[in-house]
Amino acid sequence: MGYLLVEGGHPLSGRVPVEGAKNAALPASVASLLTDEPVVLHRVPQLRDVSTILLTIGDLGKRVIRNGADLLIRGEGTLSGEANPYSVRKMRASFLVLGPLLARLGRAVVPLPGGCSLGEGPVDLHLRGLEALGARVRAEKGAVTAEADGLRGGRIELPFPSVGATEQVLMAASLAEGETEIVNGSIEPEVVDLVRLLRKMGSEIESNGRTYRVAGRAALHGAEHTLIPDRMEAGTLLLAGAISGGEVTVEGVVPDHLRAFLDVVSATGLRVEEGDGELTVLPSGRPSPVSVETAPYPGFPTDLHPPLAAYLSIGTGTSRLAETIFEHRFTYVDALRAMGGRIAVSGRVGSITGVKGLRGSSLSAPDIRAGAAIVLAGLVAEGETKIGGIEQIDRGYASIEEKLKRLGARIERQND
């Protein structure tokens, strides 16, 4: 699959644009299953995970036409209610097709998600949500079958504000008969972006804090929508500038979406300037230690935990990073240790004791965000870092080496 070669020790400088958000592109593509009319999406990032979801909906009967960052998704004849196990097992977000297919067809069979080494996370909240809308759900032979003679509105109170479960229920409820209430739903900007798209498609959704009220419709129509910027890519690129000791501006961002992240990096002493739709990190020396806990939005995002850990690993003291969302988040630890990082993990808490410098090594990206953490560490490490498993990084970062190269990084993609 190839690897990335990074030569550390070159401060980055310059401006770099941010792509549309992966985590907005995936549910938006799935939402196209709710209508036969065309759905047009703009600012769609060129990522492996996006290709995976487009293959999935293509297999289900959609015709997808891509032109750069623009996507036209059209209905072509009938929809299939059985998702292709190959594409669905590759990525957890593919499980989102269950609700829309069930709402359209009355029956859907979707394999249980997997693929991501963050673990085959449970989908119990997705299923409970669909059951609240009247679905009969059973799991057998690694797949979920959901059936309903017409979904009807219901009430679901989530014990935890799951992003995926909130999106699943919002989509299914848009085609249910009557009103649905989701209590303790997630309010991540990507969920709010899906709500904006669903409203454009004719769904009536009201939100108040973590409560959503959806008045179901018999049918939805086509829509055109521009995705929000990717706050995870923005945060990662800002940390790339910071860890290299450089000055980097990310363009086309919504600073408010990064508020918790900005509070934390400012507490490390990193100087960040906020402009109109852009953020700049300035050379600031080694980061001071901080104590951080990941949390649902508006808290510190779990997806920026590994890149932050890479930054803190060259800090001046011991930082504490508590993970409350994904228990398998610490997949970056072995790699950073191999590069000279001092990290101890106890349960869901990592203690990162800053070192003066890291050293290059040969490593593999275990998942998207751990892969990003290794790339960041490589930017500051002495010597060369070889990173395999780049297909993981490509799932969530569009041509990461091109963007970093533009900022002056010495980074190359090599094919085996």
Q: Which residues form the interface with ligand UD1 (CB under 6 A)?
A: 23, 26, 92-93, 121-126, 160, 162-165, 190, 302-303, 325-326
Give the CA distances from residue 374 to residues 20, 331, 335, 353, in Å, rounded to whole numbers and listed in that order.
23, 11, 7, 17
Nearer to ligand UD1, 36 or 190 (CB): 190
Tell me whether residue 158 or residue 242 sits nearer to ligand UD1 (CB atom): 158
Minimum separation from the CB atom of position 304 to ligand UD1 (A): 9
Count of positions (residues) in the chain: 416
- Round to whole Å and give the CA distance between 291 and 361: 28
The interaxial angle of helices 22-31 and 48-59, nearest 10 deg, is 10
Nearest C-alpha neighbor of 243 from the set 4, 72, 11: 11
Nearer to ligand UD1, 233 or 303 (CB): 303
Smallest separation, CB 184 to ligand UD1 (Å): 12
Rounded distance, CA 181 to CA 137, Å?
A: 20
Buried b (16+ CB within 10 A) or exposed e, 333-355: bebbebbbbebeeeebebebbbb
Strand 349-353 versus strand 318-322 pairing type: antiparallel
**Residue 81 designated active-site:** no
Answer yes or no: are the C-beta atoms of 248 and 10 closer than 8 Å: no
Q: What is the DSSP letter of 318?
A: E
Residue type, 279: L
Active-site annotation holder among 88, 116, 176, 335? 116
Shortest Å, Cβ 144 to ligand UD1: 11
Minimum distance from residue 75 beta carbon to ligand UD1 (Å): 24
In contact, 182 and 129? CB cutoff 8 Å: yes
| Closest by CA position to 92, among listed 172, 190, 23 | 23
Find the shortest distance in angstroms from Cβ 291 to ligand UD1.
20
Please state, in angstroms and rounded to a whole number, the distance separating the CA atoms of residues 359 and 313. 12
Q: Which residue is nearest to ligand UD1 (CB)?
A: 164
Nearer to ligand UD1 (CB atom), residue 25 or residue 290: 25
Q: Of 166 and 244, which CB lies nearer to ligand UD1 in the complex structure? A: 166
Angle between helices 259-267 and 231-243 (to 10 degrees): 20
Q: Toward ligand UD1, which CB reaches closer, 8 or 185?
A: 185
Closest approach of Cβ 303 to ligand UD1, in Å?
5
Question: Would you please indicate which residues are annotated as catalytic (active-site) residues?
Answer: 116
